[in-house]
Amino acid sequence: MSTPRFSTNDVTVVFFLGGPGSGKGTQSANLVKDYGFVHLSAGDLLRAEQVREGSQYGELIREYIREGKIVPMEVTVALLSNAMADSLATSPPPAGTKARFLIDGFPRKLDQAVFFEATVCPSELVLFLDCPEDVMEARLLKRGETSGRDDDNAASIRKRFHTFVETSMPVVDDFKKKDKVVWVKADSSVEQVYEEVKAGIEARGLQAR
């Protein structure tokens, strides 16, 4: 049995899950401002690695993202773990407080969850945005007009929804059985969703800082 790289005595990890376009990135910005989270998006880290000069994974990541598939977990977990270490080294939390990491769009597969918690850090809770597919699809198509993302098009969106239902929802269900999920309906306005997010996490003991 390996020891996690970071101790829950020093670090609080909140996983942030929800379908593509459910609003995770949008809500993360609020949570960073009010709760002192460091926001780490697994998708953003993969996109940065995809274009990093000399990366051995660039082509693989491009292909997986376009197809809406889950990149092999060793790649993503290493990126997240190193980003956490960099953040702790360069911007440590205020004295006497634990660092808070909001890990957006991860874990998307059960094996990722198990591997991350065993080798990097166990999670404190899971924030889940529940949004109907038709709402998410409309948001993503609109975002695709300006995002420049390879996967904000109708064909990739369909594949991402499929992966979400088949592969990522079982992760949410598993954490739900462990009573670790804050479940928020996400088809209302950004402000209304945030009110529910705040109420949900504060009920679990995470206060603004």
Ligand X SMILES: Nc1ncnc2c1ncn2[C@@H]1O[C@H](COP(=O)(O)OP(=O)(O)OP(=O)(O)O)[C@@H](O)[C@H]1O
- What DSSP string runs through 84-139? HHHHHHHSPPPTTS-EEEEEET---SHHHHHHHHHHT---SEEEEEE--HHHHHHH
From the list ligand LLZGTKA7, ligand X, none, partner contacted by residue 12 (C-beta under 5 to 8 A by kind): none
Beta-sheet pairing, 11-18 with 99-104: parallel
> Measured from the CB of residue 201, what is the shortest distance to ligand X in angstroms?
17
Q: How far is the CB of 133 from ligand LLZGTKA7 (least distance, A)?
A: 15
Residue 21: name its binding partner from ligand X, ligand LLZGTKA7, none (Cβ under 5 to 8 Å by kind). Answer: ligand X
- Is 22 annotated in a binding site? The answer is yes
The answer to whether 107 is annotated as binding is: yes
Q: Concatenated DSSP letters for 20-50?
A: TTSSHHHHHHHHHHHH-EEEEEHHHHHHHHH
Residue at token pair 């998006």: 41
The yes or no reply on residue 105 touching ligand X (CB under 6 A) is: yes
> Would you say 148 and 112 are in contact if contact means Cβ atoms under 8 Å apart?
no
21 interacts with ligand X by CB under 6 A? yes
Residue list for the binding site for ATP: 21-26, 143, 188
Site residues for ligand X per CB under 6 A? 18, 20-26, 43, 105, 139, 143, 189-190, 193
Residue list for the binding site: 21-26, 47, 69-71, 105-108, 112, 143, 149, 160, 188
